[in-house]
Structure formats: structure tokens, C-alpha cells
Amino acid sequence: MYTFTILIAMIGMLLIPYGMITWLKRRKNRRPTKPAAILAVAGVVLFLGGATANGQVKTAQDQQAAADNAVNISSRRVAAKSSSKTAEKAKKAAEASSRSAARSSKEAAAKASSIKAATEKAAAESKAAEAKLEQSNNNLASLTYQGTQTININQGKPTFSSADLSLDAGAWEKYGDLDRLNRATTAEAMLNQSIMPKGKRGSISEVTPTGWKNKKISGGYLFNRSHLIGWALAGENANWKNLITGTRQLNSPEMLRYEMDVKAYLEQNSQNYVRYSVTPVFRGNELLARGVHMMAQSVSSQAISFNVYIFNVQSGVTLNYADGSSNVGQATGSTGTASAGSATTQPSQNSSSQTANSSQTTTPTGQVVFVTPTGKRYHKYAHGNGTFTKTTLQDAKSQGLTPCQVCW
């Protein structure tokens, strides 16, 4: 449009001089001048019209340019404002993220501190428990056998803590590592039917515990490979960490009667649990244990509850606890004799406080045994299923009952 108006104005500019020159020529030649005048006037009209239109177009363009410029300025302002808002949002987000990171860092530090405190507490408790166990073992190791093979500890009451009785981990068993002399150390368990053996018992003949110097004596062999946690309770076979050299008398009937009570309780219900602990007790560097400390507590009931120490002795045999060697002598009428080999046995300061915990009694007129209403055998002690009552050995034999193959 702008170019067209300029073209019209230029045509007008050309027509004006042309019309005037033509008018002058015609006038000189006395010819009609009207056409030339019309051309000149037309040129003037075209020039003025084109110039005016060109000015209007120019003005419109300027106005459009101004409008466009205003729009651009407005757009830039909007964009700037939007960018400012975006930047503000980004700033706030960054500040929020920074605060969140600070909180997370603080919480992580608090959690790490809590874990560290709990770990240190557990380590301190474990160390204290180990020291307490060592002191307890030393006290038990200093005892001298005085005719009663099984005695109560802490009046027969177990000393498990509430944490020890927790069922959070279900049924489990744990055996301490052998010590520097290759001796078994501890056996701990939460017993339940789920870990009791399902198959046949395996051989353990390849295991030779410390102090294993076996020999034949009246009625069989002097020593057994004694399980700390009986096979019937956890199904452990040739586990070196669970076997010690124990006299036949230690193994059966002394340890066995407690094991059978626990076994019978577990077999009553799959929800029955028993916290169980057995620790062999050695004096110094001796290889033959002086005895075993047995402790058990049924969870959520008092059906099973004992804390006893059983001396590792055998009737009519003098044991050398230093290396497991022995001398067979005449029976003394007591339930066993024992002496130190490499060290002299010292009288115990606690011997006067020993408490008998035997479930059988022998008298000159007859021995007390245990029977059940429907059973065909008599027992030295109550174990297994059934309701046991006491009677005399003479009466049991008169009823035609025969001795239990486990007890005798």
C-alpha cells in the first residue's frame, strides 16, 4: 500500500509539468489548451492524493509499529513477571528442599546416635553377662562333690531375663565356639517341637571331646559323649560344640531326667516353648568338666522350671579332671567319688549350702520308684508322658512291673 501511494504521487508529479508544457505549446500554436489544463490539474490531484494517502499509510504503519512495540513491551513485561514468579517458586522450593534436607540430616544423625547407643548398651550388657557367667562358672567349679550329685542353684529358680524369654525369633539354638583348649563352652536354645528331631539318631563316634579316656567299668563304659542339649530336644548329632566327656551317671539318669521332662512338655502342644541353657563347668585348664549347669524355663507357664548343677562323677571311680584318666576302686556306697589329678581338690566354701535335688531315695528297707496307672515299668524318676506316683521298688516288682530301660 505504501509503494502504491508513492507511485500515484510520482505520476501526479510527472503530469503537472507535462500538462503545463503542453498548455504553453497549444497556447502558442493557438490550439485548444483545455486538454493540457486537464492533464496538469489531474497531475496536481494525483500528486496531492498520493502524498496524502502515503502520509496516512505511513501514519497507520507507525501506529501499527507502535502498537506492535507496545505489545512486545507488554509481552516482555509478562514474561519478566512470569520469570520472576518462576524464580520465586524455584527459590521457595530450594529453601523447602534445604529445610527438608536439614531435617533428614538431623533425623539421620539422631537415628545413628540412637543405634550407636543401643549397640554400646548391648555390648555392655553382653560383656556384663559374660563376666557374670564366668564368675558363676568359677563359683561352680570351686564346689567339691559331697555325696549329692545334683544340687539346686538359686533355690532352683532360673535367672533368665524377659529378653531371654522373648519369642520374637521363634525357636532357635546356638552353640558357643570351642575354647583355646578345644572344650565346649555353652549351649543356648528356645526349644519347641519345630526343632525336635524327625528322623533317626546319627552316629557321634567320630567326636572325641576333651578328657576322652574311656574304659570299661562294671555295667558298661565309664564315659559317654554327653550332649549339652539332648538329641531328643534339638536333633544335634556329631556337633563338637554340643558334646563333652561325661560319666555314664552324669548322662543318665541325672541329665536325662531333666531332658525327658522338657521333651514330654514340648510334645504336649506345638505352641509350648522352653528356654534352655546348658554350660559345662571346667576348673582352670582341666580337660574333663567338673559338672554341668542346667537351666530351663517354659515360656508363659511354670510347667518347666529348674536351675541345677550336676557333678560329673561316677560311683566307685576316682577321676583325674586334668586329663580324663581314672582309677576304678571299690564302691563307697555314695553316688560317686572324685578327686583332682593335677591339682588338689580344695573344700568348697559353698559346700554347706548345697541343696539336694534328687528324685529318688534309697532306704535300708526299700527304694522309692515312680509308676503310672497303666504303665508296665517302674522308673527311678518321673519322665515322659503319664501321671506318676511314688511306690516302693518291692511293691512295683510285686505288681509284675519291670525296670524302665531308660532309667536302668
Q: Which of 43, 60, 86 is the last residue of a domain?
A: 86
Q: Are residues 281 and 224 in the same domain?
A: yes
Residue 260 falls inside a structural domain: yes
As a whole number of angstroms, the distance between CA 122 and CA 116 comes to: 10
| Cα dist from 220 to 204, 316, 318, 319, whole Å | 18, 13, 16, 16
Helix axes 34-141, 2-28, angle to 10 degrees: 170
Q: Are residues 261 and 328 in the same domain?
A: yes
Q: Are residues 248 and 354 in the same domain?
A: yes
Looking up cell 500538462 gives 19
Amino acid of residue 85 = K
As a whole number of angstroms, the distance between CA 179 and CA 183 comes to: 5
Residue 350 falls inside a structural domain: yes
Exposure of 168 in the CB half-sphere (CA atoms within 13 A): 4
User: Could you tell me which of 292, 287, 293, 321 has the C-alpha nearest to residue 307?
Assistant: 293
Looking up cell 507502535 gives 66
Q: Which of 358, 376, 395 is the last residue of a domain?
A: 358
Q: Are residues 309 and 395 in the same domain?
A: no
As a whole number of angstroms, the distance between CA 374 and CA 356 comes to: 30
Amino acid of residue 35 = P
Q: Which three cell numbers stand for residue 173?
A: 539354638
Q: Are residues 205 and 316 in the same domain?
A: yes
Q: Are residues 263 and 154 in the same domain?
A: yes
Domains in the chain: how many in total?
3
The per-residue pLDDT string of the chain (408 residues; one tens digit each, 9 = 90 and over) reads: 657 767 777 786 777 787 778 878 877 787 777 777 787 787 777 777 766 766 666 676 777 777 777 777 777 777 777 777 787 888 888 888 888 888 888 888 888 888 888 878 877 876 776 777 788 889 999 999 999 999 999 999 999 999 999 999 999 999 999 999 999 999 999 999 999 999 999 999 999 999 999 999 988 999 999 999 999 999 999 999 999 999 999 999 999 999 999 999 999 999 999 999 999 999 999 999 999 999 999 999 999 999 999 999 999 999 999 999 999 984 433 333 444 343 333 333 333 344 433 333 333 336 888 888 888 888 877 776 667 788 888 888 888 888 887 666
As a whole number of angstroms, the distance between CA 29 and CA 24 comes to: 9
Q: Are residues 240 and 177 in the same domain?
A: yes
Residue 13 falls inside a structural domain: yes
Residue 155 falls inside a structural domain: yes
pTM for the model: 0.59
Q: Are residues 339 and 376 in the same domain?
A: no
Q: Are residues 241 and 363 in the same domain?
A: no
Q: Which residues make beta-bridge pairs with 403?
A: 378
User: Could you tell me which of 50, 37, 42, 46 has the C-alpha nearest to residue 4?
Assistant: 50
In 222-281, where do the E strands start and end? 223-227, 243-247, 274-281
Residue 133 falls inside a structural domain: no
Q: Are residues 220 and 352 in the same domain?
A: yes
Instruction: Identify the three-state secondary structure at position 122.
Output: helix
Q: Are residues 200 and 288 in the same domain?
A: yes
**Domain harbouring 229, CATH code:** 3.40.570.10
Residue 113 falls inside a structural domain: no
Q: Are residues 284 and 345 in the same domain?
A: yes
Range of the domain at 367: 359-408
